[in-house]
């Protein structure tokens, strides 16, 4: 799925001052592209990712998802329609894993399907768990998993609904270098195999060099 932002802006009010977290962002991310978003802390990287994913509300502009002749500006959707669009089209992978502590790895992975009243595709589930090497950890709770295993479970959860777009916010931030490299390699290979659009926010230049393209953000503005 192709993603286009048009003059995308996010502001916050501090007293009488207006703070620009993101200012007039105009980018196009092609279907199947792998993009890194880089910049210093507080530059607007996560804000951009969150706006693309419909997690936070924009102040101005558009976020358009295009699939063939069909285009959806998610900034115009109602809350319920936006939630439905996210569940069916976008997978999220976060730095803190965002797994539910009381649920097993299996339950965490299948949760997005249950929220959308869909049955689990056993073949897809088994293939993802095999590829991510977590088949022997499915009955474990998150606290019983290593950081790398938690992130693999999070990746399986992001991919289980077969979304067109995968958004990752510092997915290796809590991992050692070996586990981090393994996670990025798996993400790339899984997305390439199914032509998914992959967007990763990262501080790590090594990660950005593995992806097709990098954009940089400074003080809320895309500079490259």
Q: What is the pLDDT of residue 110?
A: 97
Q: What is the pLDDT of residue 68?
A: 87
Q: What is the CATH number of domain 2-222?
A: 3.40.50.300
Using 50 as the pLDDT threshold, list the residues of the chain that sit under it. none
| pTM: predicted TM-score of the whole model, two decimal places | 0.94
Domain boundaries, the chain: 2-222
Residue 164 and residue 130 in contact, taking contact as beta carbons nearer than 8 Å: no
Residue 156 and residue 81 in contact, taking contact as beta carbons nearer than 8 Å: no
Q: What is the pLDDT of residue 54?
A: 97
Count Cβ atoms below 10 Å from residue 216 Cβ, excluding itself.
16
Q: What is the pLDDT of residue 74?
A: 98
Q: What is the pLDDT of residue 16?
A: 87
Structure tokens at 211: 């992806």
């Amino acid at each position: 799925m192709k993603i286009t932002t048009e003059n995308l802006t996010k502001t916050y009010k501090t007293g009488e001052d207006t703070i620009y977290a993101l200012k007039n962002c105009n980018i196009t991310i092609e279907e199947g592209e792998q993009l890194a978003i880089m910049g210093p802390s507080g530059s607007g990287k996560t804000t951009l990712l969150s706006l693309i994913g419909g997690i936070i509300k924009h102040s101005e502009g558009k976020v358009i998802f295009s699939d063939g002749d069909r285009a959806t500006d998610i900034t115009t959707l109602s809350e319920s329609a936006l939630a439905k669009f996210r569940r069916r089209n976008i997978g999220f992978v976060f730095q803190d894993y965002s797994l539910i502590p009381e649920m097993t790895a299996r339950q965490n992975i299948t949760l997005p399907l249950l929220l959308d009243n869909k049955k689990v595709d056993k073949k897809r589930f088994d293939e993802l768990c095999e590829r991510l090497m977590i088949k022997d950890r499915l009955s474990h709770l998150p606290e019983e998993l290593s950081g790398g295993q938690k992130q693999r479970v999070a990746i399986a959860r992001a991919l289980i609904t077969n979304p067109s777009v995968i958004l990752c916010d510092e997915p290796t931030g809590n991992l050692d270098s070996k586990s981090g490299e393994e996670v990025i390699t798996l993400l790339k290979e899984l997305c390439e195999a199914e032509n998914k659009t992959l967007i990763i926010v990262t501080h790590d230049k090594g990660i950005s060099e593995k992806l097709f393209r990098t954009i940089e953000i400074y003080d809320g503005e895309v500079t490259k």
